Structure 1
Amino acid sequence: MSDSAEVVIRHARPEEVTRIAEIEGICFPAAEACPLKDFQLRFSTFPENFFVADKNGEIIGFINGCNNDIPDLPDELYHDTSLHKKDGSYLTVFGIDVLPAHQKGGIGAKLMERYILWAKETGKKGVILTCKDHLVHWYEKFGYKKIGVSASCHGGAKWNDMHLIF
């Protein structure tokens, strides 16, 4: 049985934000990881866009992002929750994180599938994200198209713009 068979994907709860930040710190380099205070602010602004992977009561992964009116993910969105558009046409992905011990078992795919479904359920036109070169192929499996190299310089890294338009 795959690891993902035991996992439930559900909306995050306020008391889980600290665990979400811990997972982010494990999965991303310090220059790219979102600090706890920023996660708390994001969660207070758009809690409906936070989903967790719950394995028998343990949070082992998550996905989150804000809404935007245009199919773009500028760096400012990561740091300024006032730019979140409650009724925005596009759902963004700020991060999808799965603890290393649970990676390669389909949990990231379950998180992404639920997030895409959420975008459709809420009437979005699509989902927008940026990713590094080695992840382009993984996102393409969900229907994302590489638009090109992103203008983002988040964390000093090179990113690719990826769009999934419904």
Structure 2
Amino acid sequence: MKIRNATLEDAVELTRVESINFPAIEAAKLDTMKCRLNYYPNHFFVMENSQGGIVGFINGMVTNMKDLMDGMYTNAAMHDEKGEWQMIFGLSILPGYRGNGYSKRLFNSMIEAAKQEHRKGVVLTCKEELVAYYEKLGFKDEGKSNSKHGGVEQWHQMRLTF
């Protein structure tokens, strides 16, 4: 499996993969995906199989804001390349590729890039059932966030501080 930065040409396929992994109300639409790719393609890691097909990806903007805010999901202009915190908006792996450690490899790519760029750390929000998974990756649960993204009432904010 190869990991590379996403390009604008990947937008349609990334949107398809996202729609398989998230409920429609939570999943980024094509216009949002294109906007993200225009603003921060170097914070968008794609995993490809040996035929060059996209099997998963991870993405998120960089900001000086310490907490992940709902507006960040749809307003890519909030990205600040000089920001201190790498936000993670989503991790998507196609169902046939799950359970092989690919999620961890994508996370490690994002984390290593953030370290090399001298960020303070990485922030994400997740549902209750994923807290333990992210804790295994070194993230600390900061409790329930104020997020209502996708109509979900109980997101946990997780932080990995370097």
Q: If the length of structure 1 is used for normalisation, what is the TM-score?
A: 0.94
Mapped contact 2:7–2:37 kept (Cα < 8 A): no
Q: Which contiguous aligned blocks of 4+ residues in structure 1 show a shift greater than 2 angstroms?
A: none
SS at match of 2:4: strand
Q: What is the rounded CA distance, in whole Å, between the counterparts of 1:122 and 1:18 in structure 2?
A: 28
Query: What is the aligned partner in structure 2 of residue 38 from structure 1?
Result: 32
Q: Unmatched 5+ residue regions in structure 1?
A: 1-6
How far off its partner does 1:41 sit?
Answer: 0.5
Query: What is the aligned partner in structure 2 of residue 18 from structure 1?
Result: 12
Deviations 1:74-117 (A, max 9, x none): 00111112211111000000000001111111110100011100
Query: What is the aligned partner in structure 1 of residue 96 from structure 2?
Result: 101
Q: Unmatched 5+ residue regions in structure 2?
A: none
How far off its partner does 1:14 sit?
Answer: 2.2
The correspondence of residues 140-151 of structure 1 with structure 2, limited to 5 A, is 140-151=135-146
How far off its partner does 1:142 sit?
Answer: 1.3
Q: What is the rounded CA distance, in whole Å, between the counterparts of 1:48 and 1:133 in structure 2?
A: 29
Question: How many residues are aligned here?
Answer: 160
Between the aligned residues of both structures, percent identity stands at 39
Query: What is the aligned partner in structure 2 of residue 87 from structure 1?
Result: 82
Out of 57, 63, 70, the position equivalent to 1:62 is 57
Mapped contact 1:150–1:159 kept (Cα < 8 A): yes
Q: What is the rounded CA distance, in whole Å, between the counterparts of 2:108 and 2:81 in structure 1?
A: 21
Query: What is the aligned partner in structure 2 of residue 110 from structure 1?
Result: 105
Q: If the length of structure 2 is used for normalisation, what is the TM-score?
A: 0.96
1:127 and 2:122 aligned: yes
Q: What is the rounded CA distance, in whole Å, between the counterparts of 2:134 and 2:116 in structure 1?
A: 20
SS at match of 1:147: strand
Mapped contact 2:120–2:161 kept (Cα < 8 A): yes
* Residue type of the alignment partner of 1:37: D
Q: What is the rounded CA distance, in whole Å, between the counterparts of 2:137 and 2:38 in structure 1?
A: 29
Q: What is the root-mean-square deviation in Å for CA atoms of aligned residues? A: 0.8
Mapped contact 2:87–2:124 kept (Cα < 8 A): yes
Q: What is the rounded CA distance, in whole Å, between the counterparts of 1:137 and 1:9 in structure 2?
A: 25
